[in-house]
Amino acid sequence: MRHLLSISDLSKSDAISILDTAAELARVSDGAVKKLPTLRGRTIVNLFAEDSTRTRISFEAAAKRLSADVINFSAKGSSLSKGESLKDTAMTLQAMGADAVVIRHPASGAAQRLADSEWMSGSVVNAGDGTHEHPSQALLDAFTIRKHLGMGGSDLSGLSVAIVGDILHSRVARSNVLLLSLLGAKVTLVAPPTLLPVGIHNWPATVSYDLDSVIPHVDVVMMLRVQQERMSDLFFPNAREYSRYFGLNAERMSTMKSGAIVMHPGPMNRGLEISAEVADSARSVIREQVTNGVSVRMAILYVLLAGGALEVGSN
């Protein structure tokens, strides 16, 4: 594997091997070893043309724990804000000898464009492209679900997951639907009709408009952020109404199965899609998602960068 652009590029065994690698790496970083020499001498560029806290810091921490050199590069404070094109930026990175670029970009397909071009020779990791995909988030979500609810198996078969909220603008939802169904989980999408994309019926998931009827039957409730910055039209009458029908509050949470967990990719709009009480409750694994994010991103960088292209005879 050279790039990680979309979950649809992964086979089930690829996905499971990333999760297994992450599990071993998590065990290593839980112990005494915080720093591994594995990617010493490699340069990883975090190219963030869109704001991010978690993903950028998480990729940075992952790269540093594997001893790679990290260059952070964000739109604000770089020539991207002067209007430099993606092509020129990529060629600059190539000239500096970047082994991998972790790219977040507001345009869907930006990571694919970078990987398909001849502009640079390194690996490309998609850290969120517009409303398309966010594969590392889906992998860390699957990792977290498997850790909490996996029935000893390596996949997620037998589990059901509800993804609730702004599906239309959510790259997290797209990647998660693909990955969770690939791993054998049953996915239900819950949203107002205005926040569902065209062609939703071709997704490997069922659709519901009624949160209350879904919640008691699922093992995982994954709340999505209402992405106000991407909303140019009116998608729901007002925040209070959205919150009443599609928000997760303590009362709704009390109808969940015992052992079921609440997830959110962050950043949260507390009081809109999720109440503060739920976000801080014992069912919430939101903070753990962040911790697991580092291990999963270490695994992604390991799989993409640690091996060489040359195959040498075994000993």
Partner 1 sequence: MSVALSAQDITRALTRISHEILERNQGSSNIVLLGIPTRGAHIAGRISAMITAIEGSEVPTGTLDITLFRDDLRMRPPRAIMPTKIPTSGIEGKDVILVDDVLFSGRTIRAALDALGEIGRPRAVQLAALVDRGHRELPIKADFIGKNLPTSKNQSVKVLLSEIDGRDEVTIEEGTE
Q: Is position 132 annotated as part of the catalytic site? A: no
- CA–CA distance, 13 with 292 (Å, rounded to integer): 20
Shortest Å, Cβ 33 to partner 1: 4
Contact pick of 152, 199, 259, 313 for partner 1 (by CB under 8 A): 313
**Segment interacting with partner 1 (CB under 8 A) among 26-34, 107-115, 236-244, 264-272:** 26-34
Which 42-81 positions form the footprint of partner 1 (CB under 8 A)? 66
Q: Is 33 in the site for partner 1 (CB under 8 A)?
A: yes
Residue with smaller CB distance to partner 1, 36 or 71:
36
* Spatial separation of the C-alpha atoms in residues 33 and 158, rounded to whole Å: 35
**252 flagged as catalytic:** no
* Residue 30 vs 88, nearer CB to partner 1: 30
Does position 152 bind partner 1 by CB under 8 A? no
Q: Of 21, 74, 7, nearest to 307 (Cα)?
A: 21
Tokens for 254, please give them: 């009390």
d(CA 306, CA 24): 15
Q: Which one, 28 or 231, has the nearer CB to partner 1?
A: 28
Whether 134 is catalytic: yes
Q: How far is the CB of 306 from partner 1 (least distance, A)?
A: 5
Percentages (nearest 5) of helix, strand, coil residues in the chain: 45, 15, 40
Stretch that binds partner 1, among 81-89, 117-125, 210-218, 303-311 (CB under 8 A): 303-311
| Residue 186 falls in the annotated catalytic set | no
DSSP string, 117-136: SSS--SEEEEEEETTTB-HH
Residues that bind partner 1 (CB under 8 A): 17, 20-21, 24-25, 27-28, 31-33, 35-38, 66, 302-303, 306-308, 310-315
